[in-house]
Structure 1
Amino acid sequence: MRDLGVGFRYLLKGQRWVARHGRQYGFGLVPGLITLVLYLAALVALAVWGEGFVGWATPFADDWSSPWIGLFRGFLTAVLFALGLLLAVLTFTAVTLLIGQPFYESLSERVDRDVSPDGTAPESGLPLWRELWISARDSLRVLARALVWAVLLFALGFVPVVGQTVVPVLGFFVTGFFLTEELAAVALQRRDVDLRARLALFRSRKTLIWGFGTPLGLAFLVPFVAVFLMPGAVAGATLLARELLGEEISEGDGPADADTDAAHARDDGDGAGASHAAGRPGTTNR
Structure 2
Amino acid sequence: MTHLFSGPAALAAGFRLITTPGMKRFVLVPLLSNIVILSAFIWFVLGLLGGWVDSVVAMLPEWLSFMSWLLWPLALISILGFVVYGFNATTALIAAPFNGLLAEKIEHKLRNGQVSFPDETLAEMAKRSLQRELQKQWFFLKRVLLLLIISFIPVINLLSPVLWFLFSVWMLSVQYMDYPMDNHKIDFHAMQRRLKQNWWHTVSFGLVCYLLMFVPFINLIFMPAAVAGATWLWVQQVSIHPDAALELPSGMKDI
TM-score by length of 2: 0.70
SS in 2 for 1:100: helix
1:71 has 2:58 as partner: yes
* Deviation at residue 81 of structure 1 after TM alignment: 9.1
Mark the runs of 5 or more structure 2 residues left unpaired by the alignment: 61-67
Match of 2:17 in 1: 17
- Give unmatched runs, 5+ long, in structure 1: 55-67, 255-286
Residue from 128, 143, 167 that aligns with 1:145: 143
Pairwise CA distance, 1:96? 1.2
* Cα distance in 1 between the residues matched to 2:176 and 2:103: 10
Corresponding residue number in structure 1 for 2:34: 32
Aligned to 1:231: 224
Counterparts in 2 of 1:203-282, with a 5 A limit? 203-222=196-215, 225-242=218-235, 243-246=237-240, 251-253=249-251
Q: Structure 2 matches for 1:168-187, cutoff 5 A?
A: 168=162, 172-187=165-180
Q: What is the identity, as a one-letter code, of the residue corresponding to 2:139?
A: R
**Cα distance change of structure 1 residues 253 and 114 upon mapping to structure 2, 3 Å threshold:** farther
- Closer, same or farther: CA 123–151 of 1 in aligned 2, 3 Å: farther
- The alpha-carbon distance between structure 1 residues 199 and 156, as it changes in their structure 2 partners (threshold 3 A), is farther
Is the CA contact (8 Å cut-off) linking 1:94 and 1:182 kept in structure 2? no
Counting matched residue pairs gives 228
Query: For residues 116 and 70 of structure 1, do their structure 2 counterparts lie closer, same or farther at Cα, with a shift above 3 Å needed?
Result: closer
1:131 aligned residue (129, 145, 151): 129
Contact 1:109-1:121 within 8 A present in 2 as well:
no
Superposition deviation, residue 90 in structure 1: 1.6
The corresponding residue for 1:198 is 191
Range moving further from structure 2, 24-33 or 82-91: 82-91
Structure 1 residue 89: Cα displacement: 1.3
The alignment partner of 1:230 has SS state of helix
2:100 is matched with: 105
What's the offset of the Cα at 1:8?
2.6
* Inter-CA distance 173–81: structure 2 relative to 1 (3 Å threshold): closer
CA contact (8 A) 1:108 1:187 kept: yes
In structure 2, C-alpha distance between the alignment counterparts of 1:84 and 1:174, rounded to whole Å:
13
Per the alignment, in what secondary structure is the counterpart of residue 251 of structure 1? coil
Distance in 2 of aligned mates of 1:211 and 1:192? 25
Map Cα deviations across residues 1-59 of structure 1 (whole Å, 9 max, x no partner): 93222233112111121233472475131121232244356547x649x96xx9xxxxx
1:225 Cα deviation from its structure 2 partner: 3.9
Match of 2:7 in 1: 7
Work out which of the two has the higher radius of gyration on C-alpha atoms and give 1 or 2.
1
Distance 1:124 1:217 in 2: 34
> Which residue identity does 1:92 align to in structure 2?
F
Aligned equivalent of 1:275: none
Change (3 A) 1:40 1:15: same
Deviations 1:204-249 (A, max 9, x none): 1111111211122122134564332211111000112222121999
CA RMSD of aligned residues (A): 4.1
TM-superposed CA distance for 1:103, in Å, is: 2.2
Q: Which residue of 2 aligns with 1:158?
A: 158
Structure 1 residues 195 and 70, CA gap change in structure 2 (3 angstroms)? closer
Q: For residues 235 and 106 of structure 1, what CA distance do their matches in structure 2 show?
A: 11
- TM-score, length basis structure 1: 0.63
- Letter of the 2:58 partner, please give it: L
Q: Is contact 1:29-1:227 (8 Å) kept?
A: yes
| Contact 2:7–2:208 under 8 Å retained in 1 | no
Change (3 A) 1:132 1:244: same
Q: Tell me the amino acid that sits aligned with residue 133 of structure 1.
A: Q
8 Å CA contact 2:10–2:205 kept in 1: the answer is yes
